[in-house]
Amino acid sequence: MGASKHSKGEYIRIAAIIALLGNAILAIAKITVGFISNSAALIGDGIDSSTDVLISIITLAVVRVISKPADPGHPWGHGRAETVATAFLSFVILFAGIQLIINSISNLITGEHNMVPSTMAFAVTLISIIGKLLLAWSQHVLGKRAHSSMIKANAKNMASDVLISLGVLAGLTISVITDSAYADSIIAILIGLWIMKTAIGIFLEVNLELMDGTNDKEPYRIIVEAVNSVEGASNPHRARIRRVAGFWDISFDIDVDPKSTVEDAHGIAGEVENNIKQRLENVYDIMIHIEPKGDEESEAFGLSEKEM
């Protein structure tokens, strides 16, 4: 089973603390050794780890918000704060990538930092690869348990950091072999482009949730199966599904016999709702509207059974 609403904040908090401590150590080591060893790529990798530290700090702040209960001003709760924070983080990551590219291009043009990086950078880069693998794994596991888009996005970000560190390692190797620092700066530019790509991917994914959209068609299929498995229920239509901080908010209409009593219709809707919850994890709310069978009306929004 997935994480309950009560444990979600706890999982996010643990993930944020692990990421904060791990990335802070790696960022300090990479930036310090990057300057000492004259490696622009390693400094760029350290800057990327620094953005991960900022992500963790913001994540801890978000936990306080999403843990608040619903109130008159926020009847749906405060879960969307996580989505908004994730969108903000994508811009932070994008800015870091752009800044790294600008600095690296400037180094190539002006010839600054043209010394070949020292071998000290190799050791820190290898440690970074191992550390990032462990951090990405921990964020992935905790993100799945919490059903948190923010932690899952951070896991993807850290997984891409492993590739960044591998790129740094390749740049250092080429620089030493060719006795030139240009390869290091070029790798730094490629790292910046990768950081930008990661940021754009995170934003596009979270923007879909902000727009109340979803690429996941499985919940719609489950709705159709749940309705068709209940005697007396038919024609699921005007279906709308959205994500609220990792939980499903579902609304749709069904047809019942127009001669059914209110009690019978309510029982049918309740059975459909239970069927959905048995088949789909992390349901926040289900709203089912009852309509008399044969009463055709135009559907201004939502999906029909055929579209689902």
* Residue 151 near residue 139, CB atoms below 8 Å: yes
Q: 23: Cβ–Cβ under 8 A, 6 or more apart, which residues?
A: 49, 50, 52, 53, 56, 135
For residue 134, the model assigns a pLDDT of 93
Taken in order 205, 21, 97, 93, is the CA torsion positive or negative?
A: positive
**Backbone phi and psi for residue 292, each to the nearest 5 degrees, phi listed first:** -70, 135
The kind and range of the H/E element at 257 are none
Q: Is the separation of the CB atoms in 154 and 59 below 8 Å?
A: yes
Every domain of the chain and the residues it spans: 5-210, 218-292
Architecture in CATH of 218-292: 2-Layer Sandwich (3.30)
* Tokens 């007396």, residue located: 232
Q: In CATH terms, are 5-210 and 218-292 the same topology? A: no
The answer to whether 50 touches 100, Cβ cutoff 8 Å, is no
From the DSSP assignment, how many helices (H) and strands (E) are in the chain? 8, 3
Q: How big is the chain, counted in residues?
A: 308
Instruction: Check residue 230 and report its DSSP letter.
Output: S
User: Which parts of the chain register pLDDT below 50?
Assistant: 1-6
* Rounded Cα distance, 283 and 300, in Å: 25
Residue 116: its pLDDT value, please? 58
Cβ neighbourhood burial of 45 (10 Å; 0-12, 13-18, 19+): buried
Task: Look at residue 5 in the predicted model and tell me its pLDDT.
Answer: 46
Distance CA 126, CA 144 (A): 28
Contact 14, 5 (CB under 8 A): no
What pLDDT sits at residue 1?
A: 40
Q: In whole angstroms, what is the distance from residue 162 CA to residue 191 CA?
A: 11
pLDDT tens digits, one per residue of 92-151: 778 878 877 887 787 777 765 555 566 788 888 899 899 999 999 998 898 888 877 778
The predicted-structure confidence for 286-301, as pLDDT tens digits, reads as follows: 999 999 987 666 666 7
Please give the class, per CATH, of domain 5-210. mainly alpha
